[in-house]
Amino acid sequence: MIENEKVEEMELELEEKSENTIKALESDYGAIRTGRANPHILDKIEVEAYGGMSKLIELGNVSTLDARCLQINLWDKSLLKAVEKAILQSNIGLTPSNDGQVIRLVFPVMTEERRKELVKQAKKMGEDAKVALRNHRREAMDVLKKMKTAKELSEDEAAGCEADVEKAVTGYMSKLETIIAAKEKELTTI
C-alpha cells in the first residue's frame, strides 16, 4: 500500500459506496413479501398523522403473532383508519383488518408462480446492485488512471492500487452473491 492522500480518499469512497450499495440491497430485500410475516415490510410506509407524515413504525409496536400474521398496536387509537389507509395505498399486497384496537396483517400462502416472480424481482435487484458495484470500480480506476497520467503515481504504484481495487470489489461482489442466494433460498422455501 502506498502513502498517497488521493489514493486513500478514493479507497475510502469506494468502500463507503460499496457498503451503501449492499445496505440498499438488503433494505430492498426486506421489503419483498415472502410467505412469512416480516415486520420490515412496513419500514417504508408513511402515515398521515398529526398534520404531517410519520413512519408507521414510529406510531406503535409491530409484533409477529405467528409465521403468517403481523399485529400493529398503535399508541394512539385515533390513527387506526389513517394507518389502514396508508397500508392499502402502499401496494404491499396485504389487506389490513382493524378490530378497533389493533390492526392485523395476514400473509397469504404464496403460489409457485408468485414465488418465481419474486425470485425474478430479487435477481433483478441483485443485478442492479452488481452494476452499481462495477460502476464504483470504474470510478476508482478512472481516478487511478488520471493520477498515473498526471505522474502522481508510477506505473508500479498504479498497478498495485488497481489490484487492491479489484480485490476489494471482488470481496463486495461475493458478499452480494451470498445475500442474493440467501434471498432466493428464502423465497423458494415453502
Phi, psi of 162 (to 5 degrees): -60, -40
Whole-angstrom distance, CA of residue 163 vs CA of residue 165: 5
Q: What is the pTM of this model?
A: 0.70
Q: Where do the domains of the chain lie, and which CATH numbers do they carry? A: 5-31+111-188 (1.10.132.20), 39-106 (3.30.1360.40)
Nine cell digits for residue 167: 480485490
Tens of pLDDT along the chain (190 residues)? 456 788 888 899 999 999 999 999 988 887 776 667 778 778 888 888 888 888 888 888 888 888 788 888 989 888 888 888 888 888 777 788 888 888 898 887 778 887 888 889 899 999 999 999 999 999 999 999 998 888 888 888 889 999 999 999 999 999 999 999 998 888 887 6
Whole-angstrom distance, CA of residue 154 vs CA of residue 43: 49
Q: Which residues contact 26 (CB under 8 A, 6 or more apart)?
A: 179
